[in-house]
Each structure stands twice: as structure tokens, then as C-alpha cells.
Amino acid sequence: MSRLRICRSPATAYPPPQTGLPDAGLHARLCEAMRRHLSPAAATLLAEPAPSGDGEWIDWYTTLAGQPVPLRSLAADGLRRARNLLEDRIQAMLALSERLAPGDPGLAEAMRRAAGFPDESAVYVVDGQPVLTFWGYGETTRPGSARFQAAPASRKHARWPWLAWAGLLLSAGLGWAAFHLDLWRWPPWGPDYAALLAAERQAGDDLWRTLLERQSELARSLGQCALQAQRDAVAQEGALLAGRLDALTAELARKLETCRDEAALEAASKEHDALSVRLSGLRSELAAKREKCGNGKLSAERAESARLRTKLTALKAKLAAQLSRCGKKPPIETAETTSPPAVSPVPGASPQPVKPAEGLPPCPGERPPEDAPDVAIVLDASGSMRIPSVLDGNSAQLIARFERCMMDSGLLAPVVCADLIGAYESITQAGRGPTRLMAAQRAVNNVVSGLPGDVDVGLVVLEDCPQASDYGMYDSARRGQLLQRVNGLIPRKGTPLGNGIVQAANKVDGVRAPAVMVVVSDGKDSCNANPCSIAAAVKAAKPKLKINVVDIVGDGAVSCIAQATGGDVLTPKSGMSLDQMVRQAAKDAEKPAHCK
């Protein structure tokens, strides 16, 4: 509520009352009692005191609006009306003090003292309403007192000649009072101030009820406006998110199409190279047999050679078309692929390559490099990987509740899961042993160090949305760099598992030669992708690719990835350590058991 300063007065303008200076607390109590028992207009009679910090001055405030005017500066009519209204309200205060005395004698006494003031210089008029400053500083006004009349002559016991002078002075005083109090009019008793006061009180009550109704309507309207604005904001945000989702869906479809084209291109390129090598060998073998046996016995070899040349020509056309779609130039034809090699004598004694035993897979060194399996490791380095790898029962349950709440609540997770966030942070920051990421790093180090020398290893890391980080492909000579990259990882934020599978699949063969993808993670995708459908699409494009999943938590959230590609799901429930689970996941790329 706004306040109007009436005046600033020296604190020593009048002698202070013996009962103590009035303050804002007493003012609030008195005004509340007058507002409740009399009227809101009557409660504006007393000005609110506000002493300065040094106590030298007092500022007087009112809740009325208008220009404060000293009572004595008013014209005759305004002065008379203000005095009458002031007298009525002081009498009402005195009557109220008598009514309050049985129930609250302290408040009644304070009300009676507040009805007194020093003189008219302490009275101001604001918007036609009298306002008292320095209330409580004077004697209490009683009905019939001569507050607004001239001071009576001092009474002295004198001898009888002075009685005439006293009568003359009394007559003059009565005449002066009759003139100034407008007693010459008829009827002499003037208006019914009680009726006027009741009417004013009723009007004030009506205005107060109207004000309350308007305030209620305003609050209701403001609430509706706030809800409307909130609804519009949510609708706008929904439209933006829907547009972004459509754009991301289109981009994902385009990238998947590009990935399929590139996978087919790479497969055609590898098949082209293999056929070129095989055709070159057949030509050499054909020339040698022609030297030794003549042309009569080589019809089968010629037919096979012709078939392979036809297939090679078709493959070249397919390769050129795939390269054109990807915006790349076809490979330059060399003499090795376009013309038959020169006929050379068959060497008499050339060493034969070591052949594996019948029915057993070839060992490293016996198989061509292009037949060696590729390995891609998808390693989770999201924020949840900072959780200790070994937890007690209560901590494990709390972490599981927190992760389930965060995944189920979506955008409202910070509000819905607020009671779990503090406990989660205390567990992750307590430093109780190695974290999940540290354990995974150690397991990956052990597995990579034991892979055969002809196996290339790729690394994709899940660090933050919207896509995973591609750390490249490493042959056996660069495995030290690979392990340095793995050991330098620290937990980040999100888990773009779907994008990580796509990037890892682009790094391996899986079409001509087998490939193994090892996914080490503690949760499902948090970047709005569907790893299950992505894994199925990758399997359709690369049928020889198997994805094995090491589920650190064991909640089965990512089991569909392995199921879609014919892979295995390894969890702590199997009784194996994390080292053993990662080694089992990469077993298809390790040296066969019969190899030395």
C-alpha cells in the first residue's frame, strides 16, 4: 500500500508524553481496531510516525491521497467542516476506548491517550479528511471540552466588582462562539452528524466490498493470463521440438542411406580386389598349364577364366555406379587388371603355404589379411560411468532408482528426481574405489593386448549427445596409441548409443570378412535414438557382423542390440568379472584354440 508523507517535524516540537513516544507498531494496532470497529475512513485519523535514524526528526505518513494542508490555513467553511469531522472522530475514538476496556484494557488506554494532541498546529487535512500528527502528546479530549474554542478567561476569586467584567467577557465569548460555530442558523442544532457518520461508514464499507471484489476478479484474471501464457509457451516449445525431431529424423534417414551406400561400395571394392587377385592367379596358372600341357586340356580353365572376367566386368560397372552415387571417381585401370600377365615358366620348387588342418579355421599367418576379422569397440564414457564399479546393497538400489527415474521422467527429470540427485552426487563423488569407466578401461586394455597381429581394432566412444566420438582404426603397430586413447578417457555427459553403433559399423567389413563389435555400456541411449532398429538395419547391410553387448548394470535395456545381430549379452549375473565379460565378447576375433 502506498503512503503519502504529510510533513517532517522536529522531534522536540512538543514535550514527549510520559507514557512513551507513539511508534509504528502502536499506530498499526490502533488503526486496525478503528478500521474493524468504526470504519476504514476513521482509521485514517492518526498519521504514522517514522523517526529519523538520529532521532532528531519525525516523518508523518498517511494512506490518503491528496495534498496535505494545515488545518489553520483552510477557509472558513472548510475549517468549520474539518473541525466538526475531527471532533466527531475523536469522540468516536473515546467511545471505542470505553467499549474496548472490558476486553483489552491496554488497547483501550492507548486509544484514549491517542485522542489527545497538543493544538491545531498538529492537525492536517488531506482530501477533506483530518489527520493528526503528534497524537498522544496532549491531554485527552473529552466531550464538551473547549478544544476548538478560544481559551476561557482565567478564573479568579475576586471581589464582586469584577463579576460584571466576567459576565461581559462571558457574553462576548458566547457571541464569538455562536458566530464561528454557525449557531445563528435554524434549527440551531445543525446537521445530524451521527447519521452522516453512519452514511459515511456505510459508503466506506460498500467501497471496501467493491474493492475486495475487484481485487478477487483481478487475481482471477491474472491467474488465467499466466496459465494462457504458459500454455502458449508450451505449445510453441512443442512445435519447435516437433520441427527439430522431423529434421533429425530426415537427417538420420539420409545418413543411414549414405552409410548403406558406402558399405555397399566398400564391399564391392573389396570383392573387386579379391577377384582381380584371383583372376591374375588364374591367368598365371593358365599360362603355365598352356606351356606344359597345350591348349587341348584347358577348356575348363578357359571357361572359369571367361566366367570370372564376365563377373569382373559386371562388378566394375557396379563399382563405377556406386562411386558415382557417392561423388567419387572410379579407380584407374592398371596393367595388372586390364591385360594378362606375361607367360613365365613355372618355378621348379616354390614353397607351398601352410594349410590348416581339415575343418579347422586358419590361424593368423595362414589366412590372407583380408580374411582376418575386424573388431570395433564401442565404449561408454557418459556421466553414469563415474559411479563406483563396486557398490553396497543400499547404494546400488539408490543408483538404480535414480537412473530409472531419470530415464522415465524425460524433460521433467530435474524436478521429479530432485530428492535422489543429492544422494546420487554424494555416491559418485565419494571416491569409493575404481569407477565403472576405470574398470572398463582395464578390461579393454587386457583384451586388445591379446588380439592377433592381423586384426585391426576400431574405437568409438559414447561421450555426449548428439553423436559419438570416432577415435579411428588401429593396426597392430599402433595399438599403443589406441590404449593411450582408451586410458585418457574421462566421464562426460550423454549416451549416443545408436549413433555409436552406426559409426562402429562403418569401420569394419562384415560383408566379405567377419567382424565383431563389442559394446561396453551401463545404460540405454539418452540421445533420442533407437539402437534396436539401428542394429537391425546394420545387420541387414552387413550380415557377417556380430554385436556382443557387455551390460555393466545388467538391466537388459540394450539386450535387443545383440539379439538383432545374433550376438551375446554378458551381464554381472553370469558370475564373470568385467575383464572376463569383455574378453568373452571379443572371443570371435581371438586366435583359434588350435593355433600356436
Q: Which residue has the higher pLDDT, 546 or 177?
A: 546
Q: What is the pLDDT of residue 352?
A: 45
pLDDT exceeds 60 at position 105: yes
Q: What is the pLDDT of residue 355?
A: 52
Question: Judging by DSSP bridges, how do beta strands 457-462 and 374-380 pair with one another?
Answer: parallel
CA dihedral 334, 338, 342, 345 (to 10 degrees): 100
239: confidence class by pLDDT, cuts 50, 70, 90? confident
CA distance 253 to 292: 58
317: confidence class by pLDDT, cuts 50, 70, 90? confident
Q: What is the pLDDT of residue 338?
A: 41
HEC letters along 190-253:
CCCHHHHHHHHHHHHHHHHHHHHHHHHHHHHHHHHHHHHHHHHHHHHHHHHHHHHHHHHHHHHH
Q: What is the pLDDT of residue 157?
A: 41
Q: What is the pLDDT of residue 337?
A: 41
Q: What is the pLDDT of residue 177?
A: 66
Report which listed range, 131-135, 259-263, 348-352, 438-442, is most confident: 131-135
What are the residues facing 255 on neighbouring strands? none
183: confidence class by pLDDT, cuts 50, 70, 90? low
Q: Are 385 and 494 in contact (CB under 8 A)?
A: no
**pTM score, two decimals?**
0.41
Q: 195-223: per-residue pLDDT in tens?
A: 788 888 889 989 999 999 998 889 888 88
- Around 61, how many Cα atoms within 13 Å sit in the side-chain half-sphere? 14
DSSP string, 31-52: HHHHHHHT-TTGGGSBPEEEE-
- The b-or-e profile of 452-462 (16+ CB within 10 A means b, else e) is bebbbbbbbbb
Query: In the structure grid, which three cell numbers stand for residue 95, read together?
Result: 467511545
pLDDT exceeds 50 at position 332: no
Q: Which residue has the higher pLDDT, 51 or 291?
A: 51
285: confidence class by pLDDT, cuts 50, 70, 90? low
Mean pLDDT of all residues in 412-431: 69
With a pLDDT cut of 90, the percent of the chain lying above it is 34
7 dihedral zone (left: phi>0; alpha: psi -120 to 50; beta): beta
Comparing 39-43, 90-94, 253-257, which segment has the lowest mean pLDDT?
A: 253-257
